[in-house]
Structure 1
Amino acid sequence: MAVMTGSEPGSRPLLNRRLAPFGTTIFAEMSALAARTGAINLGQGFPDTDGPEEIREAAVRALRDGRGNQYPPGPGVPELRTAVTAHQQRRYGLSYDPDTEVLVTAGATEAVAAALLALVGPGDEVIALEPYYDSYAANIAMAGGTRVPVTLRPHEGVFRLDLDELRAAVTPRTRLILLNTPHNPTGTVLTRDELAAVAALAVERDLLVVTDEVYEHLVFEGEHLPLAGFPGMRDRTVTVSSAGKTFSFTGWKVGWLTASPALVTAVRSVKQFLTYVSAGPFQYAVAEALRLPDSYFDDLRTDLRAKRDLLSEGLAAAGFAVHRPAGTYFVTTDIRPLGERDGFAFCRALPERCGVVAVPNAVFYDDREQGAPFVRFAFCKRTAVLEEAVSRLGTLKP
């Protein structure tokens, strides 16, 4: 039997037209390129070592004890929901009810997707800080919403949010602001004043906000401040985080969101028809991870700050213009000082030129030209790997 590909005369395309602009992600393409060429993969953001041994053993213990091997509760196992609320209270002074205001998800990716599918309808406008993580655009499209980018632009070595531009982007059709801080890919950490302005705007215009805070523990300058803690935001904010970035178990895909009971109920109504539940035994392990002492989080930041500096200095020595990040584990560079302008072409050629893989930031922009000269490198790798990458990149110096 012939399989219709969507290219036959008169046939309807197989892919939903809302997703037609979205093909294979750049992360899959560049990781495949790294594997094919044997290059050092500084493109996709995953660590090359596992997280704490005691947390891995906690997952093994849960498996052996039969905890989570069958369907866990829809909202997540009580131990993890309680750990999430304790974490929010201890770190930020935010109080949540573990029974009605927490939802465990298949990573932060599902949390954001379920939130947007639940809260956004056809014709609604969603403001997102550009450049943005690629799943945001696809999620908004699946919901039938309209994406309205507000672009972070480089200023004195860092990317900044223009609050006037944000305010001007709000229209009567705006339903929601999708906020990411610490911000991937630029490494920007929004300040208290910036967040206060966002909160005031949301209250004034009666907007919902979804905040992706997965890099909350990876802040090197400034501080992480959840938007939900600002006046008027407690009942209009869905706060998203996950275990992957903080504990270096990205493959476990354990995320969560905190919000008012009404918002959690709305998002759960969608989530139950996506994965229903996931990662049962890992949920118990992440509950233990969230109770690790402050020294764990301090050591994580110290280690990654040193790696940020190692890679940033190496990239600058190689001739890149470097935008040193205040948070996350990515550094954005400008390739124009190297005589280059096309990030796609540069990244596709880089493995053959010097054996390193990076990601072109243009994939995170609606206007690809704005992002064309910017390239992102991940520094969540072993120090020896970063040192070798810096050595290889040094051959690019003009």
Structure 2
Amino acid sequence: MRNPIADKVMGIQPSGIRKFFDLASEMEDVVSLGVGEPDFDTPWHIRDEGIYSLEKGRTFYTSNAGLKELRVEICNYLKRRCGVTYDPNRETLVTVGGSEAIDLAMRVMLNPGDEVLIPQPSFVSYLPCAVLAGGVPKVIELKNENQFRLTKEELLGAITDKTKLLVLPFPNNPTGAVMRREDLEAIAEVIIEKDIFVLSDEIYAELTYDTDHVSIASLPGMRERTVTMNGFSKAYAMTGWRLGYACAPSEIIAQMTKVHQFAIMSAPTTSQYAAVEALRNGDGDVQEMRMAYNGRRRFLMHAFQEMGLPCFEPFGAFYVFPCIKEFGMTSEEFAEKLLAEERVAVVPGSAFGDCGEGYLRISYAYSLEDLKVALGRLEKFVKRLKGNK
């Protein structure tokens, strides 16, 4: 019988994040710091708006591009927070989570053989989405000594005459790295000079701790070259509502909407009404959660310093990326051993690209109580390893 599965699908490996989540779920007394999901409930006034929409019988399809009211609020938000103006009618698309926006952008922008530059370590979806869209992923290895930021020199060294798209994954999952305005200005010069485009993943834009997020689309000459994607999962603790969006020049959004129309139809109606409330009245909730994450971030950095585990200081998202190279084992071996011996689940850095080897991703989207228990166990584990050296 002929193989029913396409070669390009067979060649894609399952997510390394889910592996450790699944292992931990089968064990008792495990503290899991592996999944990037806020431990906060969706704020009540947002949930209430979703409930109210059901009570009012708003269970119909919205337009393919999304509820007009929501698209207007998305554009208001981006103007207010990022200084970028988009047309809600022609330049905005509501998607099923930010992940759909990534997939759609690559599918409509890439021809077979077009190269996609993917800075790593980074979110696990970029590379397989590029492959599924017929593109050729080219990895740019981000470096600890640069605080895992993308530099102008690294970008220039990776561009060829086949390069079409750069993924810009900041604030970054898994490292917590951010790109400041001056960093973005330097790479924007290269992007314009080399005539390439950008997919800017800004899902963690609200979670920065020492400076406001800057969108590359706000820089001169970049709006017309950028697909900006974002969503509601991280900032508003709405992971299960599955809602994201993309904003871009109308010719790109029109094609993304066309594919979305055939593959999805429209995003969930209840989620869209809840998201309108989030954008209109959720700033206080975001600020409260951001302050809590920052306290946890500082606790983790102090704990790593106390146990002698090197970790650069992240200023975005809700992850830390400590280095475990001194212990002479792979990040997967370290994570498996930590889970078996101390019942703490973390994600190997290698799950986010080969250059993540020698690091761990630890999420602090968990309660301070859980973090204290987990870090106490990790400290015991590290001391034991150091004692055996």
1:377 aligns with 2:362: yes
Structure 2 distance, partners of 1:315, 1:273, is 49
What is the one-letter code of the residue matched to 1:181? F
Q: Cα deviations across residues 34-60 of structure 1 (Å, max 9, x unaligned)?
A: 111131111111122312111111111
Report the equivalent of 1:118: 108
What is the one-letter code of the residue matched to 1:350? L
Alignment of 1:210-359 (within 5 A): 210-292=199-281, 294-337=283-326, 339-359=327-347
Q: Cα deviations across residues 46-75 of structure 1 (Å, max 9, x unaligned)?
A: 1223121111111111111122x1222100
Report the equivalent of 1:40: 31
Structure 2 distance, partners of 1:40, 1:13, is 41
Equivalent residues of 1:340, 1:346 under 8 A apart: no
Structure 1 distance, partners of 2:219, 2:123, is 24
Residue among 370, 375, 386 paired with 1:390: 375
Q: Cα deviations across residues 210-236 of structure 1 (Å, max 9, x unaligned)?
A: 100000000012331111111111111
Report the equivalent of 2:132: 142
Q: Cα deviations across residues 106-154 of structure 1 (Å, max 9, x unaligned)?
A: 0000000000011011100011111121110110000111111111100
Q: Cα deviations across residues 244-297 of structure 1 (Å, max 9, x unaligned)?
A: 000111111100011111111121122223222122111111111011264333
Structure 2 distance, partners of 1:144, 1:12, is 23
What is the one-letter code of the residue matched to 2:361? R
Deviation at 1:320, TM superposition (A): 2.2
Residue among 331, 351, 354 paired with 1:363: 351
SS at match of 2:101: helix
Report the equivalent of 2:18: 28
Distance 1:361 1:21, change over 3 A: farther
Equivalent residues of 2:173, 2:317 under 8 A apart: yes
Residue among 175, 178, 200 paired with 2:164: 175
Equivalent residues of 2:97, 2:244 under 8 A apart: yes
Report the equivalent of 2:142: 152
Structure 2 distance, partners of 1:197, 1:288, is 37
Is 312-321 or 225-234 further displaced after alignment?
312-321
SS at match of 2:263: coil
What is the one-letter code of the residue matched to 2:176? G
Equivalent residues of 2:115, 2:137 under 8 A apart: yes
SS at match of 1:320: coil
Structure 2 distance, partners of 1:392, 1:276, is 47
Structure 2 distance, partners of 1:275, 1:77, is 15
Unaligned runs of 5+ residues in structure 2 are none
1:49 aligns with 2:40: yes
Equivalent residues of 1:85, 1:97 under 8 A apart: yes
Report the equivalent of 1:66: 57
Is 255-264 or 309-318 further displaced after alignment?
309-318
- After TM superposition, the score normalised by the length of structure 2 is 0.94
Structure 1: 4+ residue segments shifted above 4 A: none
Structure 2 distance, partners of 1:211, 1:194, is 14
Structure 2 distance, partners of 1:384, 1:260, is 45
What is the one-letter code of the residue matched to 1:127? L
Equivalent residues of 2:201, 2:229 under 8 A apart: yes
Structure 2 distance, partners of 1:235, 1:160, is 23
Deviation at 1:16, TM superposition (A): 1.7
SS at match of 1:288: helix
SS at match of 1:81: helix
Q: Cα deviations across residues 311-352 of structure 1 (Å, max 9, x unaligned)?
A: 232234344221221100010011124x24300111122222
Structure 2 distance, partners of 1:293, 1:144, is 39
Equivalent residues of 2:149, 2:178 under 8 A apart: no
Instruction: Give the count of matched residue pairs.
Output: 382
SS at match of 1:109: helix
Is 90-99 or 371-380 further displaced after alignment?
90-99
Structure 2 distance, partners of 1:265, 1:34, is 42
Structure 1 distance, partners of 2:338, 2:95, is 36
1:202 aligns with 2:187: no
CA RMSD of aligned residues (A): 1.5
Equivalent residues of 1:336, 1:373 under 8 A apart: yes
Alignment of 1:70-109 (within 5 A): 70-109=60-99
Structure 1 distance, partners of 2:2, 2:337, is 36
Deviation at 1:196, TM superposition (A): 1.0
The sequence identity of aligned pairs, in percent, is 32
Structure 1 distance, partners of 2:155, 2:369, is 41
Deviation at 1:387, TM superposition (A): 1.5
Structure 2 distance, partners of 1:320, 1:345, is 17
Equivalent residues of 1:74, 1:272 under 8 A apart: yes
- After TM superposition, the score normalised by the length of structure 1 is 0.92
